[in-house]
């Protein structure tokens, strides 16, 4: 879930530019440290409490405030979508600030440019929030602590630092036992220079980092008080229900009359920057019915007769046609040309040497080829998309939305309304799941258009069906892998070619000679000992809108890579665990593989009637491996489909260098695994003449509690965790990508049936709306 390199580079440069000189002033607020995250090695300048300064630029997104009564507030612009990032950042901060974790209040930052500034957003995707901000938080805590201690030293009159200790926000002057609280010296500390290199707590003295602490958001999530996007209520607010054209590429033909009891019917168009594939800028592809409450408005929208103009090209938007196009592209796509235009399909060489690899494969004793097929997969976040907008023309625009990128929302409001950024407030709510879908702002653009049309605060809701039908899907893919094995099972050549639509191209980002990184991640740079290798990617021309889906290309390519490794092990007659070890020299990979095998008691073998399957990969500086235990099930599932197997256990091992909150990482890995399992078993959207077919959970089944496998997680400490030049590893997406191949590999071991096309159960349903299982 990442932006283009260009976009990320621009953000980074902006960060570097301002973080070294920016300081902010808020009168009477104690000690405030304002800084930009992520900032790996630098703590930015301190805000000078009580001293007015010139209005600074906006590129501060994180505020630490120690109030004069001792209260500690961390205001940060990341989004809380279930991953516990607020809690993790507070936990890290508390370590070096030397306060109790529970004393830190976390506050959602709001992108703004007016004074007082309360921070820009931190884009929340790519498993980045803890790993990118770890050192920033630690240095902020250490800098704040040393400034407070310096202020205390000034009061006591003894400048010998060794005569002072700190515990839980209280400074003790050890020669006399005199104590000074942080709050008492906070305002004085704000007048001191920020230390450039404050000492960090040695890892051996960690009190908090590495321990499981409770999350700050959980109490509000068990009593109904947590506010998600859909829970916003504003005075005078009206409700809008979106209805898109059922066919991708279609457009509105005439605005329907406003139904009785409704307030308006507002056509909405695709706004520049939110255009994707068939949904071109300016296309009026939806109407919003505006009314007094959700239900009445929804019924009016469903009963509305809307005329759409369907382009002839929609007849090509069919599943089989997509596969045919991919298959044809494997043999006919022209190679990338530096002079362009490289319209899809175009063949990109990601790495390696095609001729040498093919020669090696041709000369090998065995040269199998396998083709793996993955469908379009919808996001299935449980909270439907919504956005609430209060627009006062020429004055202000307040947007309340569960978004992964509040700054994108702010920029979009500016683009549509022309209001300066300083008059646009984006209030990020809790996210009821995101999974990458809330990186996009298409639904936000619609809400703004409706608010501008009706002149009242409006909440725009996408009913569940619109979420599944009008998703920006995980791209489909067809991946062909050929390999050459010698008689001992060594891999003489590995030829990997993936065909999939380009996320970058749909967003107007340039794609260079090595292709779209979002499509190729997980397929290149593999540490296996392939004696010759080539990795290629072919852009697929399908215009179905696609998006970032928790783990993005990793989940697609890991399925093909780790399935093929298993196929080669089977062909060589070598246990797949031993086979991988034979191919690996990277100590982290080997350690992770050995750890997951020990966790699963792999050497003892599966229980009678069971089978193991495994997979391993790397992402976000972490290494992850999973082993799945399955057993055959000859009965029917509750939806009437053959059950085929039960998924009994999943064992997960992770090396992310440093486990800030082990319990939370265990939860994240388990949740990621379930996301991968749902997709492997059931995840797909299907298209008939441009019309997506599966509108609700009834047809987009997910596992329920009685289908949950037993899960065990092992987290591997890494001594490199103390090295500031090594970014710690990510977690949020790491559970996802190994599940599908591990499951397919296990199923092969017990059934002799190799699953190369996902999902396992394309015809699964919830089995009837009155099913007692529900």
Partner 1 sequence: MPATFTINVNGQNRTVTVNNPAMPLLWVLRDLLNLTGTKYGCGQNGCGACTVIANNQAIRSCITEIQSVAGQNIITIEGLSPTASHPAQLAWVTFQVPQCGYCQSGQLMSVAASILAGNHGANIAAQVHNICICGTYSRIQQAISTL
Whole-angstrom distance, CA of residue 447 vs CA of residue 288: 9
Considering the rule CB under 8 A, would residue 646 count as an interface residue with partner 1? no
Considering the rule CB under 8 A, would residue 45 count as an interface residue with partner 1? no
- The least CB distance from residue 155 to partner 1, in Å, is 41
Dihedral in degrees, nearest 10, Cα atoms 526, 710, 662, 213: 150
Q: In the stretch 711-730, what mask flags binding to partner 1 with x, by CB under 8 A?
A: x-------------------
Stretch that binds partner 1, among 82-90, 186-194, 526-534, 566-574 (CB under 8 A): 82-90
Between 192 and 226, whose beta carbon lies closer to partner 1?
226
Q: Tell me how far CA of residue 23 lies from CA of 148, 190, 444, 698, in angstroms.
A: 18, 11, 32, 53
Between 356 and 703, whose beta carbon lies closer to partner 1?
703
Whole-angstrom distance, CA of residue 375 vs CA of residue 758: 7
Contacts of 590 (CB under 8 A, 6+ apart): 581, 584
- The least CB distance from residue 416 to partner 1, in Å, is 27
Dihedral in degrees, nearest 10, Cα atoms 535, 476, 342, 11: -90
Cβ atoms of 399 and 413 within 8 Å: the answer is yes
H/E element, 104: strand 104-108
Task: Tell me the pairing of strands 72-76 and 62-66.
Answer: antiparallel
Whole-angstrom distance, CA of residue 116 vs CA of residue 67: 16
Considering the rule CB under 8 A, would residue 217 count as an interface residue with partner 1? yes
Angle made by CA atoms 650, 652, 657, in degrees to the nearest 5: 170
Between 9 and 233, whose beta carbon lies closer to partner 1?
233
Stretch that binds partner 1, among 176-184, 321-329, 553-561, 668-676 (CB under 8 A): 668-676
Whole-angstrom distance, CA of residue 460 vs CA of residue 229: 10
Task: Tell me the pairing of strands 369-374 and 477-485.
Answer: antiparallel
Cβ atoms of 348 and 336 within 8 Å: the answer is yes
Cα-to-chain-centroid distance, residue 518? 13
Between 67 and 259, whose beta carbon lies closer to partner 1?
259
Contacts of 513 (CB under 8 A, 6+ apart): 336, 338, 348, 349
Beta partners for residue 622, in sequence order: 619
Kindly tell me the sign of the dihedral angle through the C-alpha atoms of 687, 639, 372, 350: positive
H/E element, 129: helix 129-156
Which residue in 39, 383, 398, 567 binds partner 1 (CB under 8 A)? 383
Q: Where are the beta strands (DSSP E) in 310-362?
A: 347-352
Q: Tell me how far CA of residue 656 lies from CA of 202, 638, 731, in angstroms.
A: 19, 39, 7
Task: Tell me the pairing of strands 164-167 and 170-173.
Answer: antiparallel
Q: In the stretch 602-621, what mask flags binding to partner 1 with x, by CB under 8 A?
A: --------------------
Considering the rule CB under 8 A, would residue 675 count as an interface residue with partner 1? yes
Whole-angstrom distance, CA of residue 656 vs CA of residue 729: 4
Considering the rule CB under 8 A, would residue 239 count as an interface residue with partner 1? yes
Contacts of 393 (CB under 8 A, 6+ apart): 452, 455
Cβ atoms of 721 and 657 within 8 Å: the answer is yes
Considering the rule CB under 8 A, would residue 640 count as an interface residue with partner 1? no
Which residue in 575, 663, 689, 754 binds partner 1 (CB under 8 A)? 663
Considering the rule CB under 8 A, would residue 226 count as an interface residue with partner 1? yes
- The least CB distance from residue 381 to partner 1, in Å, is 6
Stretch that binds partner 1, among 12-20, 49-57, 216-224, 305-313 (CB under 8 A): 216-224
Considering the rule CB under 8 A, would residue 382 count as an interface residue with partner 1? yes
Q: In the stretch 244-283, what mask flags binding to partner 1 with x, by CB under 8 A?
A: -----------------x----------------------
Stretch that binds partner 1, among 164-172, 303-311, 317-325, 659-667 (CB under 8 A): 659-667
CA atoms within 13 A on the CB side of 388: 22
Between 275 and 664, whose beta carbon lies closer to partner 1?
664
Between 15 and 460, whose beta carbon lies closer to partner 1?
460
- 365: number of Cβ within 10 Å: 12
- The least CB distance from residue 499 to partner 1, in Å, is 29
Between 49 and 730, whose beta carbon lies closer to partner 1?
730
Q: In which order are the strands placed within the sheet that holds 62-66?
A: 46-47, 31-35, 62-66, 72-76, 104-108
- The least CB distance from residue 38 to partner 1, in Å, is 23
- The least CB distance from residue 653 to partner 1, in Å, is 17
Between 236 and 770, whose beta carbon lies closer to partner 1?
770
- The least CB distance from residue 677 to partner 1, in Å, is 8
Considering the rule CB under 8 A, would residue 228 count as an interface residue with partner 1? yes
Between 380 and 745, whose beta carbon lies closer to partner 1?
380
Stretch that binds partner 1, among 7-15, 45-53, 169-177, 380-388 (CB under 8 A): 380-388
Whole-angstrom distance, CA of residue 442 vs CA of residue 379: 15
Which residue in 181, 214, 531, 689 binds partner 1 (CB under 8 A)? 214
Stretch that binds partner 1, among 139-147, 510-518, 669-677, 754-762 (CB under 8 A): 669-677
SS3 15: helix
Considering the rule CB under 8 A, would residue 304 count as an interface residue with partner 1? no
- The least CB distance from residue 251 to partner 1, in Å, is 27
Which residue in 296, 490, 586, 637 binds partner 1 (CB under 8 A)? 296
Which residue in 222, 312, 355, 604 binds partner 1 (CB under 8 A)? 222
SS3 585: coil
- The least CB distance from residue 222 to partner 1, in Å, is 5
Looking at residue 421, the DSSP 8-state letter turns out to be: G
Contacts of 22 (CB under 8 A, 6+ apart): 34, 36, 44, 45, 56, 57, 59, 60
Stretch that binds partner 1, among 135-143, 212-220, 629-637, 748-756 (CB under 8 A): 212-220
**Window 684 to 713, contacts with partner 1 (CB under 8 A):** 696-698, 702-706, 708, 710-711
CA-closest candidate to residue 459, choices 241, 735, 170, 222: 241
Beta partners for residue 47, in sequence order: 32
**Window 512 to 541, contacts with partner 1 (CB under 8 A):** none
Which residue in 199, 219, 282, 508 binds partner 1 (CB under 8 A)? 219
- The least CB distance from residue 463 to partner 1, in Å, is 7
- The least CB distance from residue 214 to partner 1, in Å, is 6
Whole-angstrom distance, CA of residue 522 vs CA of residue 556: 8
Between 179 and 710, whose beta carbon lies closer to partner 1?
710
Residues in contact with partner 1, total (CB under 8 A)?
69
**Window 454 to 493, contacts with partner 1 (CB under 8 A):** 463-464
Considering the rule CB under 8 A, would residue 84 count as an interface residue with partner 1? yes
CA-closest candidate to residue 112, choices 319, 565, 419, 321: 419
Q: In the stretch 416-435, what mask flags binding to partner 1 with x, by CB under 8 A?
A: --------------xxxxxx
Between 689 and 696, whose beta carbon lies closer to partner 1?
696
Looking at residue 44, the DSSP 8-state letter turns out to be: -
- 281: number of Cβ within 10 Å: 11
- The least CB distance from residue 627 to partner 1, in Å, is 17
- The least CB distance from residue 461 to partner 1, in Å, is 8
The residue ranges that bind partner 1 (CB under 8 A) are 81-84, 214-215, 217-228, 230-231, 233, 239, 261, 292-296, 299, 380-384, 430-435, 463-464, 663-664, 667-668, 670-675, 678, 696-698, 702-706, 708, 710-711, 766, 769-770, 773-774
């Amino acid at each position: 879930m990442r932006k283009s390199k260009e976009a990320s580079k621009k953000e980074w440069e902006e960060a570097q530019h301002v973080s070294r000189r920016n300081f902010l002033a808020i009168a009477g607020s104690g000690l405030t440290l304002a800084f930009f995250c992520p900032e790996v090695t630098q703590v930015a300048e301190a805000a000078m409490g009580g001293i007015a300064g010139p209005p600074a630029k906006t590129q501060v997104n994180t505020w630490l405030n120690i109030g004069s009564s001792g209260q500690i507030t961390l205001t940060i612009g990341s989004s809380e979508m279930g991953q516990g990032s607020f809690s993790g950042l507070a936990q890290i901060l508390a370590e070096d600030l030397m306060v109790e974790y529970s004393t830190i209040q976390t506050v959602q930052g709001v992108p703004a440019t007016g004074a007082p500034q309360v921070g820009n957003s931190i884009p929340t995707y790519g498993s980045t929030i803890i790993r990118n901000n770890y050192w920033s938080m630690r240095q902020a805590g250490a800098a704040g602590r040393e400034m407070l201690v310096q202020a205390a030293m000034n009061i006591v009159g003894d400048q010998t630092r060794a005569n002072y200790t700190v515990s839980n926000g209280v400074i003790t002057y050890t020669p006399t036992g005199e104590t000074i609280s942080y709050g008492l010296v906070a305002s004085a500390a704000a007048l001191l220079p920020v230390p450039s290199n404050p000492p960090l707590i040695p890892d051996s003295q960690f009190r908090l980092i590495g321990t499981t602490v409770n999350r700050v958001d959980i109490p509000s999530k068990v009593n109904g008080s947590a506010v998600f996007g859909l829970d916003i209520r504003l005075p005078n607010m009206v409700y809008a229900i979106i209805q898109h054209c059922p066919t991708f590429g279609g457009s509105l033909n005439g605005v329907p009359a406003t139904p009785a009891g409704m307030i308006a019917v507002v056509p909405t168009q695709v706004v520049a920057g939110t255009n994707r594939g068939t949904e071109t800028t300016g296309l009026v592809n939806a109407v919003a019915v505006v009314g007094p409450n959700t239900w009445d408005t929804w019924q009016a929208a469903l009963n509305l007769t809307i005329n759409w103009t369907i382009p002839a090209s929609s007849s090509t938007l069919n599943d089989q046609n997509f596969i045919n196009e991919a298959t044809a592209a494997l043999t006919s796509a022209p190679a990338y040309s530096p002079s362009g235009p490289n319209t899809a399909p175009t063949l990109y060489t990601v790495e390696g040497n095609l001729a040498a690899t093919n020669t090696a494969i041709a000369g090998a004793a065995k040269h199998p080829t396998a083709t793996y097929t993955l469908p379009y997969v919808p996001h299935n976040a449980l909270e439907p998309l919504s956005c609430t907008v209060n627009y006062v023309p020429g004055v202000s625009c307040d947007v309340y939305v569960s978004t992964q990128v509040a700054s994108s929302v702010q920029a979009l409001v500016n683009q549509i309304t022309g209001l300066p950024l300083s008059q646009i407030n984006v209030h990020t709510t809790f996210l009821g799941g995101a999974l990458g879908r809330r990186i996009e702002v298409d639904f936000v653009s619609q809400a703004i258009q409706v608010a501008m049309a009706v002149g009242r605060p409006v909440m725009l809701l996408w009913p569940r069906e619109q979420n599944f039908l009008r998703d920006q899907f995980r791209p489909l893919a067809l991946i062909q892998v050929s390999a050459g094995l010698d008689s001992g099972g060594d891999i003489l050549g590995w030829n990997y070619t993936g065909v999939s639509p380009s996320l970058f191209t749909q967003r107007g980002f340039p794609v260079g000679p090595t292709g779209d990184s979002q499509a190729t991640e997980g397929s290149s740079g593999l540490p296996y000992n392939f004696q010759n290798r080539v990795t290629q990617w072919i852009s697929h021309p399908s215009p179905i809108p696609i998006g970032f889906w928790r783990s993005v290309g990793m989940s697609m390519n890991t399925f093909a890579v780790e399935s093929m490794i298993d196929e080669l092990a089977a062909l060589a007659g070598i246990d797949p665990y031993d086979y991988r070890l034979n191919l690996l020299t990277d100590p982290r990979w080997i350690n992770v593989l050995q750890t997951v095998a020990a966790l699963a008691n792999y050497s003892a073998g599966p229980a009678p009637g069971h089978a193991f399957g495994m997979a391993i990969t790397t992402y976000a500086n972490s290494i992850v491996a999973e082993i799945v235990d399955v057993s055959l099930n000859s009965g029917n599932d509750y939806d009437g489909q053959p059950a085929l197997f039960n998924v009994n256990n999943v064992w997960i091992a992770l090396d992310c260098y440093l486990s800030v909150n082990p319990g939370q990482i265990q939860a994240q890995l388990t949740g990621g695994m379930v996301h991968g399992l749902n997709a492997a078993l059931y995840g797909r959207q299907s298209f008939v003449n441009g019309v997506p077919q599966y509108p609700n959970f009834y047809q987009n089944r997910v596992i329920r509690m009685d289908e949950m496998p037993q899960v065990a997680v092992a987290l591997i400490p890494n001594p490199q965790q103390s090295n500031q030049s090594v970014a710690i590893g990510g977690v949020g997406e790491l559970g996802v990508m190994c599940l599908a191949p591990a499951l397919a590999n296990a199923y092969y071991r017990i059934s002799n049936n190799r699953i190369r096309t996902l999902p396992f159960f394309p015809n699964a349903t919830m089995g009837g709306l009155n099913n007692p299982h529900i």
